[in-house]
Every structure is written in structure tokens, then in C-alpha cells.
Structure 1
Amino acid sequence: MDQLPHLVTHLYSAIPSLRLPSPLIPFTPNWDGATRVEMLVKRDDAIHPIISGNKWRKLKYALRNLPLCTQSIVSFGGGHSNHLHALGFVCRQLSTPFHAIVRGNYLGNETPMLKDLALWGSHIHYVDKKTYQQRHSKDYLAQLARTYPKSVIIPEGGSQADALKGIGEMVEEVAVPFDRIMVPVASGATLAGIALALDSTKQALGIAVLKGEGYLESLVTQFIPSSLNHWQIDHRFHCGGYAKQSAALATFCDAFNQQMPFCIEPVYSGKVFFALKQLLAAKAFHEGERIVIVHTGGLQGARRA
């Protein structure tokens, strides 16, 4: 296959409908405690209909920095992965072969996301849980590199050093003073990029969307200096684990989507706003605080078809 310099030179022309900077809108729900603070939502879900939220921000520099000899891209995720969905679409737009290493076997029971990948010409490889757990192993990554020569392997969720600059640009787009910024946490790079971009007068609050106290912190600290201490993760609102939801969360998301000017889903954004409502009622924020809530997109993950 020919070399692919167009991956850099035509990255934006291949995806002309990106909406950047993403909107920053006032958020004024009729919730207990909401009048004590001021809230704004950073609508990264509005960046693009498919490459929405933090996925574009995390992929932007990884794609711009691809070696010119790149012949394919390889990455990892589950059957509902927003990361694989976004990356598969980008690879299709760039005419670049994409190999998706998917946890679990969905043959005959493909999710909407997997159907999209197939439609876009992605190569889907189902692996069992034991194999998937090796996704950070040097030996396994070397094996993939031999299987797919001249490929670039992007970590699960796009979480790598290149992602931090793109996330930092999101913080720079918030052109008003604020005290605290809230974001869901799964693979850690988004919270890490935010923490790096903030000055020490501002706080970053991550809402864990999966079980992993200590583990999630380790994912963040692999990217940032130990001296940074203006961030934390609240582990009380994962509702049972990744992609799991309690009856209370499901009811909350349904009501939210009927009443608010934008939609959420129960995997990422739903848990952030679910946490926000309870923290407001508990007076967990200082009176008069200005809080930015990052909507990281991912609505496709809640699709039924």
C-alpha cells in the first residue's frame, strides 16, 4: 500500500463538519441546591454527529502524528465502545484500514456500533477476556505489530500522551472564569489532560463510571506529575460498574432527556449529571461556585439499533 501522508494533510478536510470550539451553555435545572451555584455545560457532544465528545480531542494529535509509512490502525474496545466507533469512522474518511480488537464474541448478535464498523469496512477481531487483558502487554502488542506490519496501535479509549494536548484545548476553550470542572472517568486520559491544563486555583472532579477505586487514580497519574493535587475522583456513582445502571439512574436519564435541552446516556454523561444532582442536594459545593460540566458525548452507546 502507498504511504499515507494525507493522514496529516487532509485530516480536517476529510471531516469538514467538526464544530469547534464546542458550545458552552448555561445549565439551570430545577434541582435542590442548584441555585447556590452557577453551572455551565461544555457541549463536546456537539462537536460532530459521530466523532463526538472527548473522542475527537483524544484522537486528534495521535492521527496528526502518524508515521507516513502507516498502513493500518489497530485499537481496542468493547461492543459499545465510543472510541472504536469514532476511530472507525475517521479511518473510513481517511481511507485507512482499521483493525478493531473487540472484547467478547458478538457474532450473530452485533451491537449497533459493531454494525456501523462493518458498514465502514473495519476489520473486527473478537477476542476472549483473557486475550483482551493482554492489551497493555509488550509481548501481545509486539505480536499485533507482526500481524499488522507498519500499523499504529492506539490504546483503548485513545488514552495516550498525544491525547492530553487535545483535552487541554477543551479547557482553553472555556473563556469564562470557573472554579471546578466535572468529567466522567473511565480510561483516565481526559481527567489527566484537564488536570494538566488547569491552574492550581481550579479543581477537577472526576466521576468514576466503573468500579476501580485506586485503579482509576493510577490511570490518571501515569500521565501527570505527582505534584498535581487539584483533582480527585468520586467513586460513589458508578451504579454497579461500567455500562451498568441502577433503576434510579435509568429513571433519572429518562426524565432528564424529556426535560433538558440536550440528551445524556447512562454509561458516561448520565452518571456525571446523576452525581451532580446528588452533590448539589448535599451542598457539596461552595456557595457561589461556578462549575463546568463536560458532556463527553457517547450517545451512540445507548442505541438499541
Structure 2
Amino acid sequence: MHQLFTINENNLIQHIDNEFLKNKKVYLGVKRDDLLHPLISGNKWRKLKYNLAHMKELNKTELLTFGGAFSNHIHACAAAGKEFNIQTHAIIRGPELDSNNPTLQFAKQCGMQLHVVNRIEYKQRYDQRYLEALQGRFPNAFIIPEGGTNEHALLGCKELVHSLPEHDYLVCPTGSGGTLAGLIEGSEANTHIIGIAVLKQAQYLNAEVKKLSSKAKKQDNWQLLTDFHDGGYGKFSPALWQFCQEMNHTYNLPLEPIYSGKMMYALWKLIEQDYFPPGSKIIAVHTGGLQGLNGLKYRGLI
């Protein structure tokens, strides 16, 4: 790891203790990756860490990435740019830029250059020719895909596993599949790894995870559960938001209803249904993304 790009990676596991879990005879610990850094936290730091090191190896001095207007990844890249003094650029899905949007305001304050494109152009974000043209426009930039998932991202997620106490089950929210793939790569074959898909019709992510992780192709100790999306990406029911607030109030565990809240809510339901045998040790990874609450408030959704 390049010594320039380090943050204090605390290793806090919060034990959730109550009668319900005692009766079910399961241990539930939450890996509080949301506390890694005030601004670049959770899986966004894990994914960025080795991308930044690789950027340095290639002698690139800028970072370019993609995202929607409320993206956690855009927020984290902008914060990393400020923290490590790197010029950052973001291709933002338009068609226009809302200057009052809290995520974009923050990105600008960090010195990120925002380049708005229409949805048709944004759809080309994985197209090789389009990426080559962008590289021509930004010759000093290292390009990271939307959401930050690539082979360098996996290294950081894999590293997370090595810091955990003994466990039988490891659970994470799944958007692009990068965190899940990294956890599979870092885990022993006798650990069960469960991804909770946060978007609708997410079965295609099984193939993505196998593409990213060679272990995922060979092993059957992991699964992606696709029935807990609560309406689709960015959507959530009043019951889920109520659950998030209760977890914050009762256990001082802040959750947002897009990623970590969906995972914890799903986990709660699975425990209720006796999905986990008595005596199971479960660790749930809080992947951060709490800045998303500002966006939900801004849109009047919470």
C-alpha cells in the first residue's frame, strides 16, 4: 500500500445484544466500516484504497469516475481528492445539474470538477471506445468505473475479512457485486457469505461476482439473496425506514435505507425465520453510505 494513501482503519465490531437474538441463539456483530473516516468511509474507502495506489504506479495525477447525482462513490472520490490533494473529475448523469443537491455541493467544495452528460452519453460509461476518448480528453486521469468496482477494489474488500474475529456467516449489502466478490476472495471456504441485493432483478449479479472472483466460480459457500430489495434501488417502505430509525435509537447504529438498512432489515427477517442454525456467529458489514441520508432528506423521502 502506498504510504500516501492511508487512513486510520479502526476495527470496531459492534455486538447487537437483545432478547430476540438470545432466544434465537445467534451472535450478531456489525463491522462498523462506516466509522473508517468521517468522509471516505465504508466500502467506498475499501474500493478506492488500491485504486489510488495503482493510479500512483501509473504516474497519473488525476482521478476520473462516473455517478448519479446522489452517488456515495462520487462523494467518497471527491473527499479522497481533497484529503490526498488529487484533482478529481466526475461524469455526472444529467441532463442537468441541480446546484442545491447536497452530494454535488460537497463534491464541488472538495474541488471536484463535475461534467454533466445526458443519459444517452452516460450509458456509454463501460464502452471501450468512449473510455478511450475520455482518456484522450483527460490524459493525466486514472479512470475508475461507476461505483468503484474493479480488480483493485477487490483487494481492499478482501483485506476487510482478515481483520474480523471468528465467524460462520458474513453478510453485506450488494449493489455492483464488488464488495461481495472481495469478501468471497478473502474468506475461508467454510465461511458462508451472503449478499443482500439492494436492486430489483439482481440475479445477473451472480455472473458479475463470478467474473470478479475466481473463488466465487469454484466455491458454493456464497449466495446472493434477491428478495429483499424493498421495491428496487433507492426505494424503501415505511417499515424499513422505521426499522432504521429504531436501530439508531436502540443500539446507536445509524443506517440508511438504501444499502446497510436493507441488509440489516433482511438479516432480521432471516433470523426471525430461523435461517441461521442456533450457535451461529454472524458478522454484518456496515458499508457506510450515510451521506445518502442527506440526499433522501433533500428529496423529501424521509
Say whether the fold is shared (TM-score over 0.5).
yes
Distance 2:125 2:100 in 1: 22
The structural deviation recorded for 1:257 is: 1.8
Superposition pairs of residues 278-289 of structure 1, within 5 angstroms:
278-289=269-280
The structural deviation recorded for 1:245 is: 0.8
Amino acid at match of 2:119: K
Structure 1 residue 201 corresponds to structure 2 residue 195 = no
Structure 1 residue 115 corresponds to structure 2 residue 105 = yes
Structure 1 residue 259 corresponds to structure 2 residue 250 = yes
Residue pair 1:72, 1:98 contacting (<8 A) in 2 also? yes
The structural deviation recorded for 1:78 is: 1.3
**What residue is the counterpart of 1:26 in the other structure?**
15
Residue pair 1:209, 1:268 contacting (<8 A) in 2 also? yes
TM-score of the superposed pair, with normalisation by structure 1 = 0.91
Residue pair 1:192, 1:224 contacting (<8 A) in 2 also? yes
SS of equivalent to 1:48: coil
Unaligned runs of 5+ in 2: none
Residue pair 1:83, 1:157 contacting (<8 A) in 2 also? yes
Residue pair 1:28, 1:34 contacting (<8 A) in 2 also? no
The structural deviation recorded for 1:32 is: 6.8
1:34 to 1:99, Cα distance in 2 relative to 1, 3 A:
farther
Distance 2:63 2:233 in 1: 26
After superposition, the CA RMSD in angstroms is: 1.8
Deviations 1:140-185 (A, max 9, x none): 11111111113110011110101111111110001x2210000000
The structural deviation recorded for 1:24 is: 1.2
Distance 1:244 1:33 in 2: 32
**What residue is the counterpart of 1:269 in the other structure?**
260
TM-score of the superposed pair, with normalisation by structure 2 = 0.92
Amino acid at match of 2:131: L
**What residue is the counterpart of 2:293 in the other structure?**
302
In proportion to residue count, which structure has more helix? 2
Structure 1 residue 11 corresponds to structure 2 residue 5 = yes
**What residue is the counterpart of 2:160 in the other structure?**
170
SS of equivalent to 1:143: helix
**What residue is the counterpart of 1:179 in the other structure?**
168
Distance 1:186 1:29 in 2: 29
**What residue is the counterpart of 1:244 in the other structure?**
235
1:252 to 1:34, Cα distance in 2 relative to 1, 3 A:
farther
Distance 1:152 1:251 in 2: 41
**What residue is the counterpart of 1:3 in the other structure?**
none
Distance 1:272 1:51 in 2: 20
The structural deviation recorded for 1:106 is: 4.8
The structural deviation recorded for 1:247 is: 1.8
Deviations 1:72-119 (A, max 9, x none): 211011111111111111112222221111123452354211110011
Superposition pairs of residues 79-94 of structure 1, within 5 angstroms:
79-94=69-84
SS of equivalent to 1:25: strand
Amino acid at match of 1:184: P
The structural deviation recorded for 1:34 is: 5.8
Structure 1 residue 218 corresponds to structure 2 residue 192 = no
Structure 1 residue 192 corresponds to structure 2 residue 184 = no
1:142 to 1:22, Cα distance in 2 relative to 1, 3 A:
same
Distance 2:23 2:70 in 1: 33
Amino acid at match of 2:242: T
Structure 1 residue 126 corresponds to structure 2 residue 120 = no
Deviations 1:228-262 (A, max 9, x none): 22111111111111111112212211222222222
